[in-house]
């Protein structure tokens, strides 16, 4: 099984389209918070997120990932990304469940995490 397939399988309860949107949103959030698009204003960045998805569950999965930065240098960028996703309508319950799942996965790898 490829890495992408195994990642998509970690999102039970979401359709294949939703899972692919989560994966696409992950890349977009990286560009919006740490990459070449980080200099855009909040309205423009929220618009780009909404162009990709307005599905609260998809946005919530991405928010969950933002809530568990694995590196200290990502804390500020992830907090910024979390605010963007909340403004577009991320489902907080989905985010909380995804953040808990990620924390467990990080613990299994023997690493710590940072909580926003």
Number of domains into which the chain is organized: 1
pLDDT score, position 13: 80
pLDDT (0 to 100) of residue 2: 43
- Give domain status of residue 96, yes or no: yes
Determine, yes or no, domain membership for 45. yes
Q: Does the pLDDT value for residue 107 go beyond 90? A: no
In the numeric block, which tokens belong to residue 26?
Answer: 């992950």
Distance CA 81, CA 74 (A): 10
Find where tokens 């469940």 sit. 97
Q: Supply the pLDDT for residue 77.
A: 92
- The Cα 25–Cα 114 span in angstroms is 21
pLDDT tens digits for range 35-45: 999 999 999 99
Radius of gyration of the chain, Cα coordinates, nearest whole angstrom:
13
Whole-number pLDDT of residue 115 = 59
Query: Is residue 116 assigned to a domain?
Result: no
- Tally of CA atoms within 13 A in the half-sphere of 85 that contains its CB: 32
Is residue 46, in this structure, part of any structural domain at all?
A: yes
pLDDT digits (tens, 9 = 90+) for 34-76: 999 999 999 999 999 999 999 999 999 999 999 998 778 889 9
Structure confidence by residue, pLDDT tens digits, 5-21: 444 445 668 899 999 99
Range of the domain at 86: 3-108
Q: What does pTM read for this prediction?
A: 0.84
31: which 2 tokens? 């560009």
Asked if residue 74 is part of any domain, the answer here is yes
66-100 burial, b at 16+ Cβ within 10 Å, e below that, comes to bbbbeeeebeebbebbbbbbeebebbeebbeebbe
């Amino acid at each position: 099984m490829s890495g992408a397939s195994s990642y998509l399988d970690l999102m039970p309860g979401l359709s294949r389209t939703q899972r692919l949107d989560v994966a696409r949103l992950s890349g977009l959030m990286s560009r919006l918070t740490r990459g070449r698009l980080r200099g855009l204003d909040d309205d423009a960045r929220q618009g780009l997120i909404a162009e990709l998805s307005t599905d609260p569950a998809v946005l919530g999965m991405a928010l969950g990932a933002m809530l568990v930065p694995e590196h200290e240098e990502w804390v500020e960028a992830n907090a910024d990304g979390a605010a963007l996703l909340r403004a577009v309508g991320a489902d907080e319950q989905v985010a909380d469940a995804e953040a808990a799942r990620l924390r467990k996965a990080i613990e299994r790898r023997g690493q710590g995490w940072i909580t926003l």
